[in-house]
Amino acid sequence: MLTSDTSVQYLKGVGEKRAALLARLGIHTVGDLIGHYPRQYEDWSAVVPIAEAPRGETCCVRGTALSAPVERRIRKGLSLYTFSVADATAVLRVTLFNNPYTAQKIKAGQAYLLFGTLTGGRNPEISSPLIEPAETGARIRPIYPLTAGLTSRYLEKITAAALLELDATLDRDLLPDTLRREQKLCTRRYALGNIHFPADREALETARRRLVFEELLLLQLGLLSIKGRSQAETAVRVHNDYTTDFCASLPFTLTGAQQRAVADCVADMRRAIPMNRLLQGDVGSGKTAVAACVAYTAIRNGWQCVMMAPTEILARQHQASLQRLFADKPNVRVGLLTGSLTKAQKNKVLEQVESGECQFLVGTHAVLSEAVQFAALGLVITDEQHRFGVRQRAALAAKGMHPHLLVMSATPIPRTLALMVYGDLDVSVLNELPPGRTPIETYAIDTAKRERAYGYVRKFLDEGRQAYVVCPLVEEGETDLVAAEAYARDLANGPFKGYTVGLLHGKMKTKDKEQVMRDFSEGRLSLLVSTTVVEVGVDVPNAVLMVIENAERFGLAQLHQLRGRVGRGKHASTCILISDAQNAEAIRRLKVMCETTDGFKIADADLQLRGPGDFFGDRQHGLPELRIADLLSDMELLHEAQAAARALHEADPSLEKPEHRLLREAVTALFTRTGEQGLN
């Protein structure tokens, strides 16, 4: 007998070759197969009379074949098959292209269901419809996510077989009966049966509701258990608050939002369980100052801090700005640890960290490595959280003595989505920019106006300002490097002849990148041409122009990040989006950029336009991919699942009770799978 852990290859109809194709869809076991839910459905159950079928929309009609199909050879390799079907209202002419297989099955006098798009008015026609015998065809059919070489019909067939094979196990429901009844959810057997082969619309909705709830519940339970693990008592107690002391020497006053965030953090660190806080703030909202202030308090209480950044450039920049912020605090030493240090440099830093001489270590994920031993690690700060997986956070938290954790993110995400992605964190929001910023003007133009835009840029360069140009994305067959180099050369020899032009791209050595960045930030370059590596963090207040080529190819979140590189100083800044995009969604996106600089509004728009699936671009936040829930339309179920997860977690934190065993296994499996992908 097969179980859900059996390899799909043991299913009838699946050989080695097909198994390899299924693996591409993430389907390895029979259980994976029944967890591969349809992406959408074809409703063959709602049959419309031919005369009334809406033209130009897909629908299902029923008709009797008036004759067998007639074959006509149009030219070599192209055959047409035509025949007609009729119902009580009209005759429908059917054309099949190169499809002898379907054509030979059509018999005169038999009734068929035809699924497709009708054209023509009183003489309706249909081309290449899907056809099924009328007596078995009238149902809602699943359409599966596919990969080349597999058809939805094939998946339908083997899924039906899998459900039969697993029949005996379908009553093992991971949702405890009481919970299921409380939430008015159907059984697992009913849900799986009807998600693949819905009896009708209502059954499908019932099935879906249950599976969405289950998915969100598992996710929330997983997040709660990660949070629970870090709730062990901590030895890192911070008794005294040194905020005032730190602020006294700052060249500016903290904004109200910054002060509240600092107070949240200090209150957290005074408690017996470790802080687990997300600091969310738009680009330029001053997260670094908050982090420095919190770190200063921890350090003065005798603890060390570590700050982790996603890239080497950012790590260096953080170190530099922290050194500035701590300039008149001689007893705070900020060290740097990145992959590109020499062995000797590395050893020196490691020694200082181990002896406690260096209280604040900044670095890339090198700070996670075994070799790093802290004398007294008390606080972990990660920058740009969305680049780190949940697991990496946990790995960091496990280092040392249950240190406090502050996660900084410049990706403004809608509150509801934050609940879900950061379900395991408390949140402070910097919803106020430091004073004196002039808002960034944004314009979207087409390539015909490019020359004029260059002229505009030159005007500012002549006044001593600086500018970024984000180069076009790579064309097929070109390498990143070649494209960026050619583009920069064209600018330097053309519209920006006589100006100092630098180039920054992902393939450069760290040392070279850093040199270019330094040349730009110290004013030796006036124009910086770059691929998207300038995206995060880099801070050059004198740069007031951002030109983005092929702007339509970027997501809103990314455009917002890029634009955040300007508008950081006292000069007014401009962002120019160049695009010839015609499609409605791209135009809408660019319009949003021109209308607002509010990161949270942009995030909401992004969510509406693209859906949450794409929200993070890559999936590096380390959460399992949602297979059925839709965060936009299932928000209510998310709240219900969250409440249920919290209640379960409170009653049985480790899910040890026998009725929770299946639930625990499912949560573990979900996060183990993600962990393998999430860690890099």
Site pattern 556..585 for ligand ADP (x: CB under 6 A):
------------x-----------------
Q: Collapsing DSSP states into helix, strand and coil, what is residue 472?
A: coil
Provide the b/e sequence for 643-659 (b: ≥16 CB within 10 Å): ebbeebbeeeeebeeee
Stretch that binds ligand ADP, among 105-113, 176-184, 250-258, 344-352 (CB under 6 A): 250-258
CB of 410 to Mg ion, least distance (A): 6
Binding partner of residue 406 among Mg ion, ligand ADP, none, CB under 5 to 8 Å per kind? none
403 binds ligand ADP (CB under 6 A): no
- Cβ closest to ligand ADP, residue 198 vs residue 286: 286
- Per CB under 6 A, which of residues 118..147 are in contact with ligand ADP? none
310 binds ligand ADP (CB under 6 A): no
313 binds ligand ADP (CB under 6 A): no
C-alpha distances out from residue 16 to 10, 29, 163, Å: 10, 13, 21
Q: Which residues have C-beta within 8 Å of that of residue 139, sequence separation ≥ 6?
A: 44, 45, 197, 198
CB of 329 to ligand ADP, least distance (A): 16
Angle at which helices 584-595 and 556-563 cross, to 10°:
30
Q: What is the largest CA-CA distance in the chain?
A: 95
- Cβ closest to ligand ADP, residue 18 vs residue 437: 437
- Cβ closest to ligand ADP, residue 566 vs residue 663: 566
CB of 443 to Mg ion, least distance (A): 26
How would you classify the pairing of strands 440-445 and 573-578? parallel
- Cβ closest to Mg ion, residue 384 vs residue 634: 384
CB of 560 to Mg ion, least distance (A): 14
Q: Are 409 and 291 in contact (CB under 8 A)?
A: no
CB of 410 to ligand ADP, least distance (A): 6
By Cβ distance, which residue is nearest to ligand ADP? 286
258 binds ligand ADP (CB under 6 A): yes
85 binds ligand ADP (CB under 6 A): no
Q: Per residue, what are the HEC states of 159-226?
A: HHHHHHHCHHHCCCCCCCHHHHHHCCCCCHHHHHHHHHCCCCHHHHHHHHHHHHHHHHHHHHHHHHHH
- Cβ closest to ligand ADP, residue 30 vs residue 406: 406
In the numeric block, which tokens belong to residue 440?
Answer: 């960034």
Find the binder of ligand ADP among 53, 217, 269, 283 (CB under 6 A).
283
By Cβ distance, which residue is nearest to Mg ion? 537
Stretch that binds ligand ADP, among 34-42, 279-287, 294-302, 352-360 (CB under 6 A): 279-287
Binding partner of residue 387 among Mg ion, ligand ADP, none, CB under 5 to 8 Å per kind? none
465 binds ligand ADP (CB under 6 A): no
Point out which residues pair with 75 in neighbouring strands.
78
Closest CA to 470 of 503, 443, 446, 492: 503
410 binds ligand ADP (CB under 6 A): yes
Closest CA to 194 of 45, 38, 25, 30: 38
- The footprint of Mg ion on this chain (CB under 5 A) covers a number of residues equal to 1
How would you classify the pairing of strands 527-530 and 466-470? parallel
| DSSP symbol at 428 | E
Stretch that binds ligand ADP, among 29-37, 280-288, 584-592, 628-636 (CB under 6 A): 280-288
- Cβ closest to ligand ADP, residue 206 vs residue 285: 285
Q: Collapsing DSSP states into helix, strand and coil, what is residue 309?
A: coil
In the numeric block, which tokens belong to residue 297?
Answer: 């308090």
- Cβ closest to ligand ADP, residue 142 vs residue 564: 564
CB of 224 to ligand ADP, least distance (A): 29
CB of 416 to ligand ADP, least distance (A): 23
Query: What CA–CA distance (Å, rounded) separates 60 from 97?
Result: 19
Site pattern 3..32 for Mg ion (x: CB under 5 A):
------------------------------
289 binds ligand ADP (CB under 6 A): yes
- Cβ closest to ligand ADP, residue 26 vs residue 434: 434
CB of 457 to ligand ADP, least distance (A): 23
CB of 435 to ligand ADP, least distance (A): 6
Binding partner of residue 286 among Mg ion, ligand ADP, none, CB under 5 to 8 Å per kind? ligand ADP
281 binds ligand ADP (CB under 6 A): yes
Provide the b/e sequence for 286-314 (b: ≥16 CB within 10 Å): bbbbbbbbbbbbbbbbbbbbbbbbbbbbb
Burial of 565 (0-12, 13-18, 19+ CB in 10 A): buried
Query: What CA–CA distance (Å, rounded) separates 66 from 92?
Result: 10
- Cβ closest to Mg ion, residue 142 vs residue 537: 537
262 binds ligand ADP (CB under 6 A): no
DSSP assignment of 334-380:
EEEE-TTS-HHHHHHHHHHHHHTS--EEEESGGGGSTT---SSEEEE
CB of 542 to ligand ADP, least distance (A): 12
Angle at which helices 188-196 and 152-165 cross, to 10°:
160
Binding partner of residue 304 among ligand ADP, Mg ion, none, CB under 5 to 8 Å per kind? none
- Per CB under 5 A, which of residues 515..544 are in contact with Mg ion? 537
CB of 574 to ligand ADP, least distance (A): 19
Site pattern 532..551 for ligand ADP (x: CB under 6 A):
-------x------------
Q: Are 4 and 30 in contact (CB under 8 A)?
A: yes
CB of 436 to ligand ADP, least distance (A): 7
CB of 211 to ligand ADP, least distance (A): 39
- Per CB under 6 A, which of residues 416..445 are in contact with ligand ADP? 434
284 binds ligand ADP (CB under 6 A): yes
- The CA angle 345-504-463, to the nearest 5 degrees, is 115
Q: What are the strands, taking DSSP E only, across 227-314? A: 276-281, 304-308
Q: Are 468 and 497 in contact (CB under 8 A)?
A: no
- The footprint of ligand ADP on this chain (CB under 6 A) covers a number of residues equal to 17
Query: What CA–CA distance (Å, rounded) separates 601 from 594?
Result: 12
Binding partner of residue 258 among ligand ADP, Mg ion, none, CB under 5 to 8 Å per kind? ligand ADP
Query: What CA–CA distance (Å, rounded) separates 94 from 123?
Result: 11
CA 441, 445, 447, 453 torsion-angle sign: negative
- Cβ closest to Mg ion, residue 69 vs residue 537: 537
288 binds ligand ADP (CB under 6 A): yes
Query: What CA–CA distance (Å, rounded) separates 406 from 232?
Result: 17
CB of 318 to Mg ion, least distance (A): 8
Binding partner of residue 283 among ligand ADP, Mg ion, none, CB under 5 to 8 Å per kind? ligand ADP
- Which residue reads 């124009």 in tokens? 527
Which residues contribute to the site for Mg ion (CB under 5 A)? 537
Which residues contribute to the site for ligand ADP (CB under 6 A)? 252-255, 258, 281, 283-289, 410, 434, 539, 568
